[in-house]
Amino acid sequence: MLSLFWKQDESGLEPVVDGLKSSCDSRMLQLDARRGLLKDVVAYVKSEAPSFFQGMQNAINPLSEVEKYDLDIIKSEKRLYEDLNDIIERRRVILRLMSEYENSLKEVERTKSIFKRVESEYQLETENSSFGKRLQNAELTLKQAKEDKKMAVLNAISITSNLIDAKKKYSLFMKNRIIHGMLQYANKLKYVSDEESRIYLRMSELFSDLRKSLSSVSDDTQPETLTVFNDISNPFDSLK
């Protein structure tokens, strides 16, 4: 019954580990896409409004810090799924021990059955007043069957003890790994969120300063140069 419980519960963490691995892959794709976007924005401003290129570049430079923190999140997710995967691997060891335990019980039953049969045959020989070689063989066979049964029982006891000990260690191991993994991931998420919020607020201020500088441009500036920014709103206003 205990074995069935473990086997039915086996799939609990695998989807979580797979999901975290997929999340790491998606975050890397997101980083690559953002790098490409920023590269194109910088190239566009440099081409269409070179006089404002330096101001725009200063405003988006803090995004390099955001990338560093995003990479920290990816590393943290990797550590988390590695911790959870360790639990899965340790669980497979327990399941192998469960299989050994079940096989040992079957061996006990097999040797008990053989012993009963051999014992009946020996009793039959004694009742028939057998003697000499025949009775000697029956005695030896009975002795061997008894020894086999004894060894099977001792082996089952040993395996059962190992299994109980391993399951106790596994329970503690699983608890510690989950707590450690989730805490480090949660703490990292909070830290990164706080730091990225600070960076975005700083960028908001830089973009506001840039817009103010654009609005104060002298009237003799080429109109087509300014039209590049006419419809651009501060993308970070919502953070204020």
Element spanning 193, H or E: helix 133-215
CA distances from residue 41 to 45, 47, 53, 128, 240 in whole angstroms, order as listed? 6, 10, 10, 104, 24
Lookup: tokens for 73: 């999140």
Give the Cα separation of 45 and 53 in Å (integer): 6
Q: What pLDDT, in 10s, does the model give residues 112-131?
A: 999 999 999 888 878 776 56
- Residue-wise pLDDT for 128-170, tens only, equals 765 667 778 888 999 999 999 999 999 999 999 999 999 999 9
pLDDT of residue 219: 44
Per CATH, which fold does 17-239 belong to? Substrate Binding Domain Of Dnak; Chain:A; Domain 2 (1.20.1270)
CA distance 58 to 5: 60
Which pLDDT does position 25 carry in this prediction?
92
Residue whose C-alpha is closest to residue 188's, from 45, 100, 43, 80: 80
- Measured CA to CA, the distance from residue 169 to residue 179 in angstroms comes to 15
Which pLDDT band holds residue 211 (cuts at 50, 70, 90)? confident
Give per-residue pLDDT as tens, 219-240.
Answer: 445 544 445 545 555 555 555 5
Highest mean pLDDT among 38-52, 165-179, 226-240: 165-179
Whether the CB-CB separation of 179 and 205 falls below 8 Å is answered with no
Q: State the sign of the Cα–Cα–Cα–Cα dihedral 152, 158, 159, 161.
A: positive
Question: In this model, does residue 7 exceed pLDDT 60?
Answer: no
pLDDT of residue 233: 56
Domain boundaries, the chain: 17-239
